[in-house]
């Protein structure tokens, strides 16, 4: 299937239950591989057969560490021998393993398969050693003002939503991780059926799929992977925040402000998520009158940020930034939101924002790294193609956008977290 004006071609196949998305981009020297597995920090309770299992917080992140190593060493060293850069990371809904290389692409790809899918044995000694590494990682994050502010905001906003769970877990929760937990997680989640492989490069598609078919079918994987159902989203979350205001101190030079808004709405469609991002760009983006106003008054600096944070079908806006005039910035943000709740956005603003978003997608063609990241995000969010994503952007209308403003910005459901300089 051709996409983005015919500059790229996208092929999709399923090989032994593994979904493969190949993005062919002629003329690109570097090749990319990205393997994403649906197992992240939000998955904490599953049913396998007639039994339910509670998974310690941080297990997905812990497992990612153990899979991306060989003989106790980071697997990035092995990939470097192929002239490749490689890494792995875990999020709320998934873990990902990726590499970029200009040579020996198939060596890299098949090495990645061996690391991730081949059945593993986890020794008690190696697991205990990893706990110390991850504990230090967790403690290091606590000194990061952005991490601390975001964590406090999420914990204040939500009561039971598993989005609260720390990706790396806590010092206490990782103590519960053992070889049996890791083996269960690997057998249950790390399967082709639970994964998607994204490939980008100038590769002959017939050769690619022929080699993939042969390699995937020869892997010594668990022949009968566990079938699970995720129970993590079975909860009742109040529509109001748990705490409305939190203040912390840390060694920083000026205040760091976070404002989040808990919507009085439990589910968002992908169309609403895309529209919400446009709304935030219109109101707070660097080309908006409001941004120009608060920047010229020196209420903010280049750290000012806004995002529509979402996972699965839930989302919420967050605004953050360092400031030396905390009260003035807080008042200005709240007043602008009140104004937009009353007046909405204009058709002109919406069309400009849509055109900018569409233009950014087309610009990705010449940035392969961003292209594969964007396409993987789009596919994993349930949008079947770039074409569908562009169609959604084009279909957004002013009436629905202004209706959505009242749903994502609820001032009486706002949560303010401030990280102050330690005295």
Q: Which domain holds residue 222?
A: 2-230
Going through 202-343 in order, the beta strands assigned E by DSSP cover: 228-230, 245-250, 255-261, 305-311, 314-323
Q: Do residue 221 and residue 117 come from a single domain?
A: yes
Within-domain flag for 352: yes
Residue 380: enclosing H or E segment and its boundaries?
helix 368-380
CA–chain centroid gap for 20, Å, is 20
The predicted pLDDT at position 71 comes to 77
Block means of pLDDT (10 residues each) for the chain, 423 residues, are 70 93 92 97 92 96 94 87 95 96 95 91 94 95 93 96 94 97 94 94 95 88 72 88 96 96 89 96 97 97 96 90 98 97 97 95 88 92 86 95 95 96 89
Q: 211: which residues sit within 8 A by CB, 6+ positions away?
A: 106
- Residue 120 in domain: yes
**Final residue before a domain boundary, out of 199, 230, 261:** 230
Q: Judge if 215 and 358 occupy the same domain.
A: no
Domain boundary, last residue among 202, 230, 258: 230
Tell whether 236 is covered by a domain.
no
pLDDT of residue 224: 57
- 238 inside domain: no
* Residues 186 and 213 both lie in one domain: yes
Q: How far apart are CA 214 and CA 192, in angstroms?
A: 14
Domain match, 223 and 108 both? yes
> Among candidates 376, 358, 363, which has minimal Cα distance to 7?
363
CB atoms within 10 A of CB 186: 24
> Does 140 share its domain with 198?
yes
Same domain, 201 and 66: yes
**Helix ranges restricted to H, 105-221:** 105-117, 124-141, 145-157, 179-189, 205-218
Task: Using DSSP bridges, classify how beta strands 245-250 and 414-421 pair: parallel, antiparallel or unpaired.
Answer: parallel
Q: State the Cα–Cα distance between residues 34 and 112, nearest whole angstrom.
A: 9
262 and 413 in contact (C-beta within 8 Å)? yes
Question: Residue 273 belongs to what H/E stretch?
Answer: helix 270-284
Is residue 274 assigned to a domain?
yes
219 and 70 together in one domain: yes
Give the strand order in the sheet containing 314-323. Answer: 245-250, 414-421, 255-261, 314-323, 305-311
Distance of CA 376 to the CA centre of its chain: 11
Residue 31: what are its φ and ψ, rounded to 5°? -115, 150
The answer to whether position 302 is within a domain reads yes
Question: Do 226 and 306 fall within a single domain?
Answer: no
Tell me if 200 sits within 8 A of 31, measured CB to CB: yes
Cβ–Cβ < 8 Å for 47, 228? yes
Decide if 235 is inside a domain: no
Q: Are residues 213 and 318 in the same domain?
A: no
Tracing tokens 């069309």 back to the chain, one arrives at 351
In angstroms, rounded to a whole number, what is the distance separating the alpha carbons of residues 378 and 386?
7
The CATH number given to whatever domain includes residue 181 is: 3.30.830.10
With a CB cutoff of 8 Å and minimum separation 6, the contacts of 259 are 318, 319, 320, 330, 333, 414, 415, 416, 417
Residue 387 falls inside a structural domain: yes
19 lies in the same domain as 105: yes
In this structure, are 365 and 308 located in the same domain? yes
pLDDT of amino acid 225 = 63
Q: How far is CA 215 from CA 26, 63, 81, 105, 402, in A?
A: 25, 23, 21, 14, 51
In this predicted structure, what is the pLDDT of residue 257? 98
Within 8 A by CB and 6+ apart from 362, the residues are 4, 5
Q: How many domains does the chain have?
A: 2
Sequence-separated (6 or more) residues with CB below 8 Å from residue 53: 45, 46, 47, 184
The pTM of the full predicted model, rounded to 2 decimals, is: 0.94
**Do residues 354 and 212 both lie within one domain?**
no
Residue that finishes a domain, picked among 174, 204, 230: 230
């Amino acid at each position: 299937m051709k996409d983005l004006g015919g500059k790229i071609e996208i092929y999709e196949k399923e090989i032994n239950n593994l979904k493969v998305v190949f993005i062919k981009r002629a003329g690109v020297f570097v090749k990319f591989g990205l393997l994403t597995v649906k197992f992240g920090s939000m998955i904490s309770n599953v049913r396998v057969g007639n039994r339910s299992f509670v998974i310690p917080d941080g297990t997905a992140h812990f497992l990612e560490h153990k899979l991306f190593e060989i003989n106790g060493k980071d697997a990035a060293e092995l990939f470097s021998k192929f002239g490749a850069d490689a890494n792995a990371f875990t999020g709320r809904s998934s873990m990902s393993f990726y590499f970029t290389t200009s040579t020996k692409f198939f060596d890299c790809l098949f090495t990645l398969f061996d690391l991730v899918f081949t059945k593993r044995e986890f020794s008690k000694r190696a697991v205990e050693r990893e706990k110390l590494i991850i504990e230090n990682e967790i403690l290091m994050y606590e000194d990061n003002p952005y991490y601390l502010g975001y964590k406090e905001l999420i914990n204040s906003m939500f009561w039971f939503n598993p989005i609260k769970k720390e990706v790396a877990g806590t010092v206490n929760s990782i103590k519960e991780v053992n070889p049996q937990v890791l083996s269960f997680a690997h057998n249950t989640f790390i399967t082709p059926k639970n994964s998607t492989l994204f490939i980008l490069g100038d590769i002959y598609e017939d050769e690619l799929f022929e080699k993939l078919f042969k390699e995937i079918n020869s892997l010594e994987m668990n022949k009968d992977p566990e079938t699970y159902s995720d129970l993590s989203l079975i909860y009742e979350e109040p529509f109001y925040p748990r705490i409305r205001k939190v203040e912390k101190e840390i060694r920083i030079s000026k205040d760091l402000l976070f404002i989040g808004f808990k919507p009085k709405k439990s589910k968002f469609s992908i169309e609403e998520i895309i529209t919400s991002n446009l709304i935030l760009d219109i109101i707070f983006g660097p080309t908006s009158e409001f941004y120009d106003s608060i920047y010229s008054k020196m209420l903010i600096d280049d750290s000012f940020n806004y995002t529509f944070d979402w996972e699965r079908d839930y989302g919420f806006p967050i605004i953050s930034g360092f400031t030396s005039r905390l009260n003035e910035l807080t008042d200005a943000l709240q007043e602008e939101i009140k104004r937009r709740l009353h007046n909405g956005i204009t058709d002109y603003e919406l069309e400009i924002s849509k055109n900018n978003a569409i233009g950014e997608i087309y610009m990705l063609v010449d940035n392969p790294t961003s292209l594969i990241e964007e396409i993987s995000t789009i596919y994993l969010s349930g949008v079947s193609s770039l074409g569908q994503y562009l169609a959604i952007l084009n279909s957004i209308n002013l009436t629905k956008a202004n209706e959505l403003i009242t749903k994502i910005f609820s001032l009486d459901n706002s949560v303010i977290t401030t990280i102050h300089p330690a005295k």
